[in-house]
Amino acid sequence: MASPFVEDPVELGARIVRGALRRARTFRDRQNPLAFHDDHLYERYRFSAEGITYLCQLLEPYVANATHRSCALTVPQTVCVALRYFATGTFMYSVGDAENLSKNTVCRATRKVVLALAQLLNTFVVFPGHLPMQAIKEGFYDIAGISRVISAIDCTHIPIAASLGENEGDYINRRSFHSINVQMTCDHQYLVTSIEAKWPGSVHDSWIFRESALCHRLEQGLFSGLLVGDRGYACQPFLMTPYPDPNTRPQTAFNVALNRTRVKIEMTFGIIKAPFNCLRSLRVAPDRACQIVTACVVLHNVASIQKERQLVPVSQQPPDVVDPFTLDYPTGRAEHRKRMSV
C-alpha cells in the first residue's frame, strides 16, 4: 500500500511538465507616447501632441479600459497604436514591435479606435459642410467662377486583399485589382462632407451615387446648390458634369472651369492618402476595410478642423488642364449661365 505522504509518480511528472510549460508573465516597458517632440509625433502618428490629446478626449468614452489590471493600455497608448497602424499600413506585428506590444494587443486597440471613430462620423462629416452654405458657394465660385456649387463628388478605389471567398470577382475593378469603391464629396477647403464606403470595386461610380443617401436627399430638394462631378456621372438638375464633346470655345471654357472646380475632390483624396498609408493597401476583410476608410476620413476632418500640419503641399493647379488658351476665356461663365437656365 502506497504511503499517503508519497505523491504518485505519474501525477508528479504531469505537474512538473505543466510547471515547465507555464511561463512567467512579463510586462514590457511602455513609454508615454506624448513625451516626445511634435516632429517625432508627426512622423509616427501624423498628429501633434495637442492633436493626440484632443483625440484622446474624444475617444476616451469608447476606448478606455474598465480596469488597470495586467498593465492595461491607457487611452493615449490605445489611440497612438491605432494611429501608427493608420500611418504606416504595415503588418500588426510590425506595429507591435515598434510600440513594444504583442500583435493581439495591437489588433484589439486598433479595432477599438476604428469603431469609436465610426461613432463620430456624423459629428465630423456633415453635408454640405461645417461652414454656412453661402460661404461654401463663395469659396467654390472664387476658384473658376461657377456659381451655386456646394460640393465636388468623385469615387476612389482602395486596394484590399485578394482572398475574398466566393464573391471575389465583385471586388475586381476595371484596372484588374481588388478594391472597394469609395464615394466622397468635399467642400472648397478639402473637408470631406459625405462618404459612402460599402461597395465592391466593380460597381460603377454613377450606380453608387444613385443608391446613396446623398442622392436621395438631393432629389428631395433639401439643398439649394449643385454638385460638380466628372463624366462618369449623368448630368442632373443638382449635379453638373462636363460637356462630353465640346465643339465651341464657350463649351471648352466651361469644361475647363468645371475641371478646376471639380479637382478639389481629387486633391482631397491625395491629402487623405498621404498621411494614412494603410489606404494604399488594406489586408483585411472588405467590411473592416470600409470601416478603416471611414475612420481615416474622420481623422482627416479632425486634423483639418484642428489645423494640424499638412504633410503634403496642396497645389492649386488642376492636374489636367484642357487648353491653356481657354483658362480665362470670359464666355465660359456665359455658357455656365446658359446651361443653368435650361
**171 and 58 together in one domain:** no
Residue 71 lies in a domain: yes
Number of domains in the chain: 2
Residue 59's CATH number: 1.10.472
Question: Are 186 and 214 contacting, i.e. CB atoms less than 8 angstroms apart?
Answer: no
Q: What are phi and psi for residue 88, nearest 5 degrees? A: -100, -35
Q: Higher confidence at residue 240 or residue 24?
A: 240
Asked if the structure places residue 2 within a domain, the reply is no
Identify the pLDDT of residue 120. Answer: 97
> Of 119, 138, 154, which closes a domain?
119
Question: Higher model confidence: residue 38 or residue 181?
Answer: 181
Residue whose C-alpha cell is 504583442: 102
Q: Give yes or no: residues 56 and 180 share one domain.
A: no
User: Do 47 and 158 have their domain in common?
Assistant: no
For residue 17, count other CB atoms closer than 10 A to its CB. Answer: 10
> What pTM value is reported for the model?
0.83
Q: What is the Cα–Cα distance from 267 to 314, expressed in whole angstroms?
A: 7
Please indicate, yes or no, if residue 4 is contained in any of the structural domains. no
Q: Which of 119, 136, 158 is the last residue of a domain?
A: 119
For the cut 90, the answer to whether the pLDDT of residue 193 exceeds it is: yes
Helix (H, G, I), strand (E, B) or coil at 199: strand
Q: How many angstroms separate the CA atoms of 82 and 78, rounded?
A: 7
Our separate counts of H helices and E strands in the chain read 13, 5
Classified as helix, coil or strand, 195 is strand
State whether 76 and 175 are in the same domain.
Answer: no
8 Å CB contact between 106 and 99: yes
192 forms beta bridges with 186
Indicate if 144 and 173 belong to the same structural domain: yes
CA 209 to chain centre: 18
Shared domain for 176 and 310, answered yes or no, is yes
| Domain match, 146 and 283 both | yes
Check residue 328 and give its pLDDT.
Answer: 35
pLDDT band at 85 (very low <50, low <70, confident <90, very high): very high
Whether the pLDDT of residue 114 is over 90: the answer is yes
Mean pLDDT taken over the chain: 85
In a domain, 35, yes or no: yes
Q: Is residue 13 included in any domain, yes or no?
A: no
> Do 133 and 106 fall into the same domain?
no
Q: Do both 115 and 195 map to the same domain?
A: no
Residue 64 and residue 127 in one domain:
no
The residue among 100, 119, 138 that closes a domain is 119
Per residue in 3-22, pLDDT (tens digit) is: 555 566 667 666 665 655 55
| Residues spanned by the domain of 335 | 122-341
C-alpha cell, 305? 478642423
6 part of a folded domain: no
The answer to whether position 294 is within a domain reads yes
- Same domain? For 285 and 253 the reply is yes
142 shares its domain with 107: no
